[in-house]
Every structure is written in C-alpha cells, then in structure tokens.
Structure 1
Amino acid sequence: MKVALGVDIGGTKTAIGLVDQVGNILHKEVIPTEIDWKPERMCDKIMETIRMLIAEAEVNIDTLVGIGFGVPGPIDRERGTIVCPPNLPTWHGFQMRSYLAKKLSLSILIENDANVATLAEKWLGAGKENDSFVYLTISTGVGGGFYINGDVLWGKYGNAAEVGFMVMNAAGETIEDLASGTAIVKRASALTGETLTTAEVFRRYQQGDAVMVPLVEETFRHLGIFCTNLIAFAEPEKIIIGGGVSNVGEPLFQALRNHVQQHACTPFGKKTEIVPASLRSDTGLIGAAALFLLER
C-alpha cells in the first residue's frame, strides 16, 4: 500500500501526517508555526517531526512515495518558492523545495494550501461525487479553490482562485475584509467595546442579540453576493464551505442558498448546492499527501 507524507503549514500551526492510499491518517502530529523563526529553522523542526513519525510508524523512509506541502500563497510552484504570504512574513522569497531537497531523499511537491484542500474534498469529502465545485474556507481569512471538469484549477504559478482578494465594492474592500472571521470580530468588538471571538459573536447572534443579529446578517449578505458571483464565473455544481465561520451552521447555509436562489443569473445557478466541508481540520494534510497518492 502506498504511503505519503502530508504537511499543512498554517499561520499558527503546522499539521504533519502519514497518509495511506485510501486516505487514512496513520500517524499525525501538530506543532506550532513559529512565525518569528526563519523558515530554515521551521523546516528543520518539520523534518525532525517527520523522522519521529516515521520511526513511530516503523516505516522505511525509502518506501514513501513523496512528501506534499500545502503552504500559504502566493507561491511559485515551478520553483518551489514561497513568494510573499501575508501571515508568514519571514518566509518571503524562501526557496523551500531546494532547501528541503538537500536534506530529504523524498520527492517534494509544494502547492497552495487552499488548492490542496480542494483536492482533499474531491478525494474524500463533500465533492467526491462532483466534477465541478468551488471550495471555500472562511476563517481568519478567506481562501478557496476551483475543481473544474475533473481537476483543480492550479494556475500558472499555483495561485489560482485566490478568491479572498476579490473586490466587493467601490471602496476596494475584499470579501476577506468584509466576511472573514477577523473582519467579523473587528466589527463586533468596535460596536461593543469588548474583545470578542467569532464563537462569542455567533452565540450572541443565536440568542437574538440586538447588535449581533444585524452584523451577522450583513455578513451573510456579503457572502451571498460573493457565492452568486462565483456561480456566474465558474458554474459549479456545488459550493463547499469550511473554516471556523462555517461553524455557525444552518443559518449561514440557508442564508446563502436563499440569496443564490433569488439572484443567480441562470436556472442552473439557482440550483447550486451549498454544503459544509466534510474533512474539517485534516483537509490540508490529506490534500498535501494526495498530491502523491492520486493519479492526476
């Protein structure tokens, strides 16, 4: 049975795991992403963790088919370079693949984290029955990926579908500015004078709080417009939504479905399914390993 390593590097934590060819996570470890460290030091910590996982699993490193990395964009996938991710400022310009290749005998692939998450949702998640879908993650920021007619839309340099940066109004505000977890908390805290979390905002919304209800409903409206635009652009069968903001649950999904049914420009678009992601926190890790485990 084929086994690959998957590494999902996020702004606060990095998940590392051994994944088999049917998508089982055999061993997993989560370590902090030390954003103040130089990338070489963080990569050394990742490799140390990989060696520990391999030893625990009693796997010969030479039998692994490769190691896939899902990393914050923008990247240059051809050169294996981390270009300028906003949440990893010390990594700008880091030639990650060449650094790792000097220390590992494994084949290495580096892709945008949202795109590998999209691949995972196709393989094992909510998109496995679909030939075309859009994956969105709405959490600290807004990210996404397009799976169109049988493959992820990777883009020339690996940064296609950076949907969080789509401008939503004449003031230049993006959907990330308007509807990410960060944006929700910023607006809610400004209105109340309190330091809130997204979980607290949504709890108060569900309790009918007079401040939170209009704030959250406005966020749903922004996301409804956003989804309608994505449908007009890509004509997906389904929009799959993950990330912390999706934890508000059915009120979000019903609001988005209602908006799409009212405003999508074609009868087909109005029928677009809008559903929760299936894989949750392991999506990026599984997708990174899938770069080697799936025939693409």
Structure 2
Amino acid sequence: MSYAVGIDIGGTKTAIGLIDSSGVILAKTSLPTDLSIKPDEMVDRMAEAVKDLITAQGIQESDLLGIGVGAPGPLNSKTGYIVKPPNLPTWWDFPLVDSLRRHFELPISFENDATAAALAEKWLGAAQDAEHFVFITVSTGIGAGIYTHGKLLTGATGNAGDVGHFVIDASGDQCVCGQHGCWEYLASGTAIARQASALLGREVSSKEAFDLAAAGDVPMKDLIDGIFRYIGIGCVTLINTFDPEMLVIGGGVSQVGAPLFDAVKDYVSQYALNPSGRTTAIVPAALQQDAGLIGAAALVHMPY
C-alpha cells in the first residue's frame, strides 16, 4: 500500500490528512489558518502536524509517495507560489512549495483547491465514469475544476476554472476583483447571505434564507429563485464553453438539494446552445466534507 499526505489550505482552517492509494483517509487533523503570523511560521505548524500524523500511524516519511497541496487562487502551480487569494491577504506572493521543502524531501504537487476537488470527484466521486466534466463549487465563493479529454485542464499557471469571475450581469455591483456583476458576487453563499440580510434588515445566513424560502416567505423565495437562475446562467456558459458530459456541483450551497438542481436543470434544458448540451447530466458532488483533502492526495496518487 502506498500513502500520500493531502493538505487543503483554506482562509480559516487548514486540513491535513494521510490517504492511501485506494482513497481511504487513515488519519486527519486540522489547524486554524492563522493570518496573524508569517506564512513560513504557519508552514512550520503544518509540517509538524504532518509529522505527528504519520508517526501516530507508524509510517515513515520514506513510505510516502509525496505531498499534495490544494489552495485558493490566484496561485502559480508552476512556481509553487500563492499569488493573490482574497482570503489569504498576508500570504500574497508567498513561495509555499519552497517553504514546505524546508521540512520534507518529497515530491510536492500543488494546484488550485477546486481543481484538486475535481480530481477527487474523478477518482472516487460522482465523475468516475466521465472523461469530460466540470466540477463547480458554490460556497463562500464560486470556483471550478475542469476535466476534459481524460485529464485536468489547469491552464498556464494553474488558475483555469476561476469561473466565479465570469460577468453575469455587468449592471450589478462591484465584486472584490473590480469587475461588476461577477457570478460569485451574485450567486455564492456569501452573496445569498448579503442579499437576504439587506432584504430583512438583519443578519441572515444563506441557510436561513433557504429555510425561509422553503417555508413560503415570498420575497425570500423570489430572491432564491433569482439566485438559482444566476447559477443556471453560469452553468449554461460552462456547457457552451467546454461541451462537458456532466456538471458536478458541490460546496455548501449545493446542500439545499433538489430545489437547486431542479432549477438549474430546467434552465439548462432551455438555454444551452447545443441541443445535446440541454441534456447535460447535472449531479451533486459525492465528496463533500473531505473533498479538499482527498483531492490534494489525488494530486499524488493519480496522473493528471
């Protein structure tokens, strides 16, 4: 049996796991992503956690095939740099891979977190039988991993799939990226909470917004129906661009289930350009909580 370490870096926490070649998570832990310390110090903590994890499992570093790291973009997977992710402002232009190499003499694979999650869905999840699919995560933001012709499409620097910054409505308000009306600004979990809070004049979570809509609150239902339409618009754009056989939707917002998937399928069935695109399979992600960890390890275990 061979093993890999997966590291999934997020804005608030970093998950670390030991995953075998069949995709089983043998052990995992997490650390707060502490933005008050230097990134190198955070990497020191990550490395210590990795070593503690493998020691507890009776595994030597020499037993590992490598370390896979998924992180939010923009990044540069070729140089190993975290470039400019909005939720990691103190990590901008940070040589993450070189920093990890201070602690390990192992191959290190590094990709965008949504790209890694797409590979996880291909390995063990909803897209095992698909050779052309797009994984979409709709959560705090919106991102995608693109798998086509039997391999990941990562782009020149690893940032292919930053679809949250498709402009869906140019008359909309300004996104953090500077454009107006980005898909992420209009339809992410953050966007739902922001718009619902403005509607009700108090702090509202995206879950509460969905619950109110399901309970028959008419203004909230109108808001959520609009969100689903925006998600449908983005999905049609991806279908028209990549001609996938499947869209896999994950992330926190996908947990609303049938109301989202039914609305998106209906929109796609009307507006995808190619008649065959109108019947594109649109399915929920099979790997939710541990998708990032499994995806990071998949960067080591699977050719991509």
Quickly name the TM-score band, shorter chain normalised: over 0.9
User: Does residue 276 of the first structure (1) align with residue 284 of the second (2)?
Assistant: yes
1:110 corresponds to: 110
2:123 corresponds to: 123
Q: Distance in 1 between matches of 2:63 and 2:218?
A: 59
Q: Distance in 1 between matches of 2:108 and 2:37?
A: 22
User: Is 47-56 or 34-43 further displaced after alignment?
Assistant: 34-43
1:231 corresponds to: 239
User: Does residue 203 of the first structure (1) align with residue 200 of the second (2)?
Assistant: no
State the one-letter code of the partner of 2:159: N
Render the CA deviation track for 1:83-139: whole Å, top value 9, x for unaligned. 111100000010111111122122111111110111101110001110000100001
Q: Distance in 2 between matches of 1:123 and 1:18?
A: 16
What secondary structure sits across from 1:65 in the alignment? Answer: strand
User: Is 32-41 or 87-96 further displaced after alignment?
Assistant: 32-41
User: Does residue 152 of the first structure (1) align with residue 160 of the second (2)?
Assistant: no
Q: Distance in 2 between matches of 1:295 and 1:81?
A: 22
Q: Distance in 2 between matches of 1:201 and 1:102?
A: 46
User: Does residue 49 of the first structure (1) align with residue 49 of the second (2)?
Assistant: yes
Q: Distance in 2 between matches of 1:263 and 1:65?
A: 45
What secondary structure sits across from 1:103 in the alignment? Answer: coil
State the one-letter code of the partner of 1:262: Q
User: Does residue 254 of the first structure (1) align with residue 285 of the second (2)?
Assistant: no
User: Is 2-11 or 163-172 further displaced after alignment?
Assistant: 163-172
What secondary structure sits across from 1:115 in the alignment? Answer: helix
State the one-letter code of the partner of 2:101: A
What secondary structure sits across from 2:120 in the alignment? Answer: helix
TM alignment of 1:13-28, pairs within 5 A: 13-28=13-28
Shift of 1:73: 0.7
Shift of 1:36: 2.6
After TM superposition, the score normalised by the length of structure 2 is: 0.96
Q: Which one of the candidate residues 218, 228, 251 is aligned to 2:226?
A: 218
What secondary structure sits across from 2:185 in the alignment? Answer: helix
State the one-letter code of the partner of 1:99: S
After TM superposition, the score normalised by the length of structure 1 is: 0.98
Render the CA deviation track for 1:255-296: whole Å, top value 9, x for unaligned. 000001111111110110111000001111111111111133
State the one-letter code of the partner of 1:54: I
Q: Distance in 2 between matches of 1:220 and 1:291?
A: 32
Q: Which one of the candidate residues 281, 290, 293 is aligned to 2:298?
A: 290
Moved over 3 A (4+): none
State the one-letter code of the partner of 2:29: E
Q: Distance in 1 between matches of 2:204 and 2:150?
A: 41
Q: Distance in 1 between matches of 2:298 and 2:120?
A: 7
Shift of 1:19: 0.5
Q: Distance in 2 between matches of 1:164 and 1:236?
A: 18
Figure out how many residues of one structure are paired with residues of the other and give that number: 296
Where structure 1 has 5 or more consecutive residues not aligned to the other structure, the ranges are none
User: Is 33-42 or 10-19 further displaced after alignment?
Assistant: 33-42
Q: Distance in 2 between matches of 1:20 and 1:45?
A: 23
What is the root-mean-square deviation of aligned Cα atoms in Å? Answer: 0.9
Q: Distance in 1 between matches of 2:16 and 2:63?
A: 18
